[in-house]
């Protein structure tokens, strides 16, 4: 289930979603699983084995590209950024060169005072990949400028004034609608101190264990992309504050009143919602659409960024004349014309001809990758209880992201208790020595290829079992009481 739902007419909720891909097939990783000496009903696995399993499942180069794009600088560095400073990071200096203060002022004449050029530079400075340097021949300055203009086209829809140029009463300066971005810093009708948008708060589920709601806090839309709902605030907080979800969960107002009001939009711009690509990778063409996507009309161009943001509501033939996508396209066309952004021959500004990503069946499509971990429930006869003690990449939202360091181990150890019926697993740097001697004299170790009859005994991993019926190849396990083996006291 996609827990990060879109809100009609607003920003599509931030998510790290997934789609079927060839790499998601069960991977038989060598795994040394041993009884936990500190838990009679648990097991320990080596972090070396876990890392090997994770690396094998994320070997596609795109995982490294995604992770690189989501790298961040420390907030100490970010908060020292000011326009014109010699110490500004290189990507910030590029922005100052291709989109200076004058350009910012030109597009923000109606903007709320919380949006400033300094905060814009800090939001970009947090993420080195935004307006970063390409060393493979691509034009870094051109990609930077196109990225910013694309972002402003969406800002104008999400938080814009939407006032006609001819409405001299409300628009005395006769600004184009594409010059009216960032008017709203909070969702219309909401203010600090209100506790709305608390759907799901307080439930006993993995979402609340990972992203617990703050008492009385409201998670309504804030910032340039109207970040909403507690799980999105929690995910964004982890990126901004070194893995600490509670900072923004307990103080969501920061997303309106600091440079985070623009950083949340940059984060979304860089984050893949697989099977949706990151918007940056549509613009810089790091993403290569699969044949299935091409057949569904999804290729390069501004139209695909609409599909990424809100395709389920704004794309497809039935949405051809709908207000939201029509506005976005008008704003993009006005901005791209003003800023002389070239439109390539294979680019489409519209998405009415596209199938929304959420409606597209990408099962088996080459090059479409998963980005979330879930327990691998496949049966392994050579492992305790037949459990895999591994996780797999899946096509739906889970508590664990393939793009967050450490989440694979958390998935295997069921850190947020999201896998019902999963064995108790602890990851260790060094496995304890295995005692191969039978715990009771004369009871031989279990052999996978041997036939055992009812009443036969065997020892396995420091425990003694008795066969309840004829069995061969079934691993004795204390966590499988319905199996052919009975654990003896």
| DSSP classification of residue 72 | -
165 with 110: CB under 8 angstroms?
Answer: no
Other Cβ atoms less than 10 A from the Cβ of 210: the count is 18
Residues tagged active-site: 158
Under 8 Å between Cβ of 355 and 312: no
**Residue with structure tokens 């051809």?**
320
The first and second tokens of residue 180, run together, are: 């009216």
Instruction: Report the C-alpha gap between 399 and 417 in whole angstroms.
Output: 9
How distant is the alpha carbon of residue 16 from its chain centre?
3
SS3 of residue 459 by DSSP: strand
Burial grade of 435 (CB within 10 A; 0-12, 13-18, 19 or more): exposed
User: 377-383 — which CB contacts under 8 Å span 24+ positions?
Assistant: 378/26, 380/28, 381/448, 381/473, 381/474, 381/475, 382/448, 382/475, 383/31, 383/33, 383/475
Instruction: Give every CB contact of residue 351 below 8 A, 6+ residues apart in sequence.
Output: 297, 303, 304, 306, 307, 311, 314, 315, 316, 325
Q: What is the edge-to-edge ordering of all strands in the sheet holding 39-46?
A: 33-36, 39-46, 424-428
Burial of residue 434, with CB atoms counted within 10 A of its CB: 0-12 exposed, 13-18 middle, 19 or more buried: exposed
The Cα–Cα gap between 101 and 144 comes to 15
Q: C-alpha angle 423/429/434, rounded to 5°?
A: 70
Tell me the torsion sign for CA atoms 329, 331, 337, 341: negative
Give CA separation, 307 vs 200, 262, 293, 359, in Å: 27, 21, 12, 11
């Amino acid at each position: 289930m996609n827990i990060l739902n879109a809100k009609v007419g607003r920003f599509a909720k931030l998510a790290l979603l997934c789609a079927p891909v060839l790499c998601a097939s069960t991977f038989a990783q060598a795994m040394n699983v041993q009884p936990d000496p500190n838990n009679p009903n648990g097991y320990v696995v080596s972090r070396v084995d876990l890392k090997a399993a994770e690396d094998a499942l994320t070997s596609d180069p795109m995982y490294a590209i995604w992770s690189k794009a989501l790298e961040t600088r420390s907030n100490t560095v970010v908060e020292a950024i000011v326009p014109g400073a010699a110490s500004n990071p290189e990507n910030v200096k590029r922005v100052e060169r291709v989109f200076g203060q004058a350009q910012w002022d030109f597009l923000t004449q109606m903007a709320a005072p919380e949006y400033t050029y300094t905060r814009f530079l800090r939001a970009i400075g947090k993420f080195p990949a935004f307006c970063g340097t390409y060393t493979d021949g691509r034009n870094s300055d051109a990609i930077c400028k196109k990225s910013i203009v694309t972002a402003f086209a969406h800002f104008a829809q999400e938080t814009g004034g939407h006032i006609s140029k001819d409405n001299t009463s409300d628009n005395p300066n006769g600004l184009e609608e594409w010059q009216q971005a960032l008017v709203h810093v909070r969702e219309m009708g909401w203010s600090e101190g209100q506790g709305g948008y608390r759907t799901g708060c307080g439930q006993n589920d993995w979402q609340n264990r990972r992203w617990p709601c703050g008492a009385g806090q409201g998670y309504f839309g804030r910032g340039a992309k109207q970040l909403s709902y507690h799980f999105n605030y929690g995910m964004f907080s982890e990126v901004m504050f070194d893995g600490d979800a509670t900072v923004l969960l307990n103080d969501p107002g920061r997303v309106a009143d600091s440079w985070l009001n623009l950083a949340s939009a940059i984060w979304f711009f860089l984050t893949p919602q697989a099977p949706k690509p990151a918007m940056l990778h549509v613009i810089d063409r790091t993403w290569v659409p699969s044949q299935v996507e091409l057949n569904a009309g999804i290729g390069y161009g501004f139209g695909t960024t609409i599909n990424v943001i809100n395709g389920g509501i704004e794309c497809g033939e039935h949405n051809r004349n709908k207000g939201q996508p029509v506005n976005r396209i008008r704003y993009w066309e006005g901005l791209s014309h003003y800023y002389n952004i070239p439109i390539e021959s294979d680019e489409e500004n519209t998405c009415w001809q596209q199938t929304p990503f959420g409606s597209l069946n990408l099962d088996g499509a080459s090059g479409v990758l998963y980005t979330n971990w879930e327990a691998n429930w496949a049966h392994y006869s050579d492992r305790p209880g037949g459990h895999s003690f591994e996780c797999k990449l899946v096509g739906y939202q889970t508590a664990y992201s393939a793009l967050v360091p450490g989440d694979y181990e958390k998935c295997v150890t069921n850190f947020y208790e999201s896998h019902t019926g999963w064995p108790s697993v602890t990851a260790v740097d060094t496995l304890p020595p295995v005692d191969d001697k039978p715990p009771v004299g004369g009871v031989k170790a279990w052999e996978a290829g041997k036939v055992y009859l009812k009443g036969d005994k065997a020892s396995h991993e420091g425990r003694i079992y008795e066969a309840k019926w004829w069995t061969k190849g079934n691993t004795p396990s204390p966590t499988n009481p319905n199996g052919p083996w009975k654990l003896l006291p």
